[in-house]
Structure 1
Amino acid sequence: MLVVGFMLRSDHLGVTSVIRDLALNSRCYETLIHFFRSSAWSLESLRTTWIQVVHKTAPLLVVDNRVVLVGDGMKQTKEGRRMPGVKKLHQESENSSKGEYIFGHLFGAIGILAGTPQKWFCLPLFMNLQDGVKTILGWRKVDGEKEQPSHVVQMIEQGFAAAQIFGNALLLLDRYFLTVPALERLNAFHHASTARMHLVTKAKANVVAYEHPATKKPGRGRPPKKGKAIKLKDVFKTHAADFQAVTLTLYGKEETVQFLCLDLLWGQGLYQELRFVLVQRGGQCSIVVSTDLTLAATDIIRLYGYRFKIECTFEK
Structure 2
Amino acid sequence: MQLCQRLEQILENLRPAFSREATYQWFILLAWGVVLNSQPSAITSYVNALGLTESYYHQALHWFESKAFNVKGLTLGWSKWVSQHENLYRIKEKRVYVGDGIKVGKEGRKMPGVKRLHQESGNVAKPEWIRGHYFNALSVLVGAGKACFALPLVLRLDDGIKSKATAKEGKKGSKKEKTTLVTKMGELCTTYAEAGSYVILDAYFACGAVLKSFRQNALHLITRVRCSTVAYAPFSSVPTLRGKGRPRLWGSSIKLESLFALVEDFPTAKVWLYGQQVSVSYQCFEFHWDSPHQLVKFVLTQLPNGQRLILLSTDLCLTGPEIIAAYGLRFKIEVTFRQLIHLLGGFAYRFWLKALPTGVTFS
TM category (shorter chain) comes to 0.7 to 0.9
| 3-state DSSP of counterpart to 1:161 | helix
1:89 and 1:183 map into 2 onto residues whose CA distance is: 26
Q: Please, which of 324, 331, 350 is the counterpart of residue 308 of structure 1?
A: 331
In the other structure, the counterpart of 2:311 is 288
Give, as a single letter, the amino acid of the residue that structure 2 aligns with 1:230: I
2:43 and 2:85 map into 1 onto residues whose CA distance is: 28
Q: Is 1:128–2:156 an aligned residue pair?
A: yes
1:147 and 1:29 map into 2 onto residues whose CA distance is: 44
Structure 2 contact 149–332 (Cα < 8 Å) conserved: no
Larger relative strand fraction: 1
Alpha carbons of structure 1 residues 31 and 270: separation in structure 2 relative to 1, 3 Å:
farther
Q: Which deviates more from structure 2 when the two are superposed, residues 297-306 or residues 73-82?
A: 73-82
1:207 and 1:137 map into 2 onto residues whose CA distance is: 32
Structure 1 contact 71–108 (Cα < 8 Å) conserved: yes
1:153 and 1:10 map into 2 onto residues whose CA distance is: 38
In the other structure, the counterpart of 1:235 is 259
Structure 1 contact 134–148 (Cα < 8 Å) conserved: no
Q: Please, which of 141, 150, 157 is the counterpart of residue 180 of structure 2?
A: 150
Give, as a single letter, the amino acid of the residue that structure 1 aligns with 2:253: A
Structure possessing the higher radius of gyration over alpha carbons: 2
Q: Is 1:223–2:247 an aligned residue pair?
A: yes
Cα displacement string for residues 206-225 of structure 1 (whole angstroms, at most 9, x for unaligned residues): 11111111332743232222
1:70 and 1:23 map into 2 onto residues whose CA distance is: 38
In the other structure, the counterpart of 1:193 is none
Q: Please, which of 209, 234, 255 is the counterpart of residue 181 of structure 1?
A: 209
Structure 2 contact 150–332 (Cα < 8 Å) conserved: no
2:295 and 2:102 map into 1 onto residues whose CA distance is: 29
Alpha carbons of structure 1 residues 183 and 56: separation in structure 2 relative to 1, 3 Å:
closer
- After TM superposition, the runs of 4+ consecutive aligned structure 1 residues lying more than 6 A away are 135-141, 143-148
Alpha carbons of structure 1 residues 54 and 312: separation in structure 2 relative to 1, 3 Å:
closer
Alpha carbons of structure 1 residues 7 and 259: separation in structure 2 relative to 1, 3 Å:
farther
1:145 and 1:174 map into 2 onto residues whose CA distance is: 28
Q: Please, which of 300, 303, 312 is the counterpart of residue 278 of structure 1?
A: 300
Shift of 1:185: 2.5
Structure 1 contact 81–103 (Cα < 8 Å) conserved: no
Q: Please, which of 194, 200, 206 is the counterpart of residue 172 of structure 1?
A: 200
Structure 2 contact 197–219 (Cα < 8 Å) conserved: yes
Structure 1 contact 6–18 (Cα < 8 Å) conserved: yes
Shift of 1:97: 4.2
Structure 1 contact 65–168 (Cα < 8 Å) conserved: no
Shift of 1:175: 0.3
Which runs of structure 2 are paired with 1:67-86 in the superposition (5 Å)? 67-86=95-114
Report % sequence identity: 37
1:252 and 1:59 map into 2 onto residues whose CA distance is: 19
Structure 2 contact 113–159 (Cα < 8 Å) conserved: yes
In the other structure, the counterpart of 1:261 is 284
In the other structure, the counterpart of 1:248 is 271
| 3-state DSSP of counterpart to 1:160 | helix
2:139 and 2:336 map into 1 onto residues whose CA distance is: 14
| 3-state DSSP of counterpart to 2:84 | helix
Structure 1 contact 85–132 (Cα < 8 Å) conserved: yes
In the other structure, the counterpart of 2:89 is 61
Structure 2 contact 223–313 (Cα < 8 Å) conserved: yes
Alpha carbons of structure 1 residues 139 and 284: separation in structure 2 relative to 1, 3 Å:
closer
1:225 and 1:145 map into 2 onto residues whose CA distance is: 25
| 3-state DSSP of counterpart to 1:301 | helix
1:270 and 1:129 map into 2 onto residues whose CA distance is: 35
In the other structure, the counterpart of 1:107 is 135
Q: Please, which of 18, 23, 26 is the counterpart of residue 54 of structure 2?
A: 26
Q: Is 1:47–2:75 an aligned residue pair?
A: yes
In the other structure, the counterpart of 1:17 is 45
Cα displacement string for residues 213-272 of structure 1 (whole angstroms, at most 9, x for unaligned residues): 1332743232222222211112111x23541111121122221111100111113x7674
1:139 and 1:225 map into 2 onto residues whose CA distance is: 36
Alpha carbons of structure 1 residues 7 and 150: separation in structure 2 relative to 1, 3 Å:
farther
Shift of 1:172: 0.7
Alpha carbons of structure 1 residues 149 and 12: separation in structure 2 relative to 1, 3 Å:
farther
1:6 and 1:229 map into 2 onto residues whose CA distance is: 55
